[in-house]
Amino acid sequence: MWLTCRQAAILELMRAASKPDRLAASSAIARAAEANGDDALAGEEWRRYRLIQDAARDPDELLAEGIALSVQAIELAAVSQ
């Protein structure tokens, strides 16, 4: 699998920094983007923050959460029709 330059850079940063450092950096960038009105960057960084948090979660817990969200989506779609 070939990585893009950006993916390779992100992977290298992830290897070099601790989880708390990565969370702090991501949240700082997100807050700064929000303060500057850059909603796209803020959203991207909050998603990155959430991914960093989720990486340490139990895979079965993540799967159960995904299934529950899918069930809710199906129910909402059925109601809206």
Write the single-letter amino acid at 30.
Answer: A
Closest CA to 44 of 24, 25, 30, 32: 30
pTM to 2 decimal places: 0.59
pLDDT of residue 8: 74
**pLDDT bracket for residue 3 (50, 70, 90):** low
Q: Is the pLDDT of residue 14 over 70?
A: no
pLDDT of residue 55: 82
pLDDT digits (tens, 9 = 90+) for 27-80: 999 999 999 999 999 999 999 999 888 887 888 998 999 999 999 999 999 988
Encoding tokens for residue 1?
A: 């699998």
Ordered by start, the domain boundaries in the chain are 5-80
Distance CA 33, CA 39 (A): 7
Handedness of CA 51, 54, 59, 63 (dihedral sign): negative
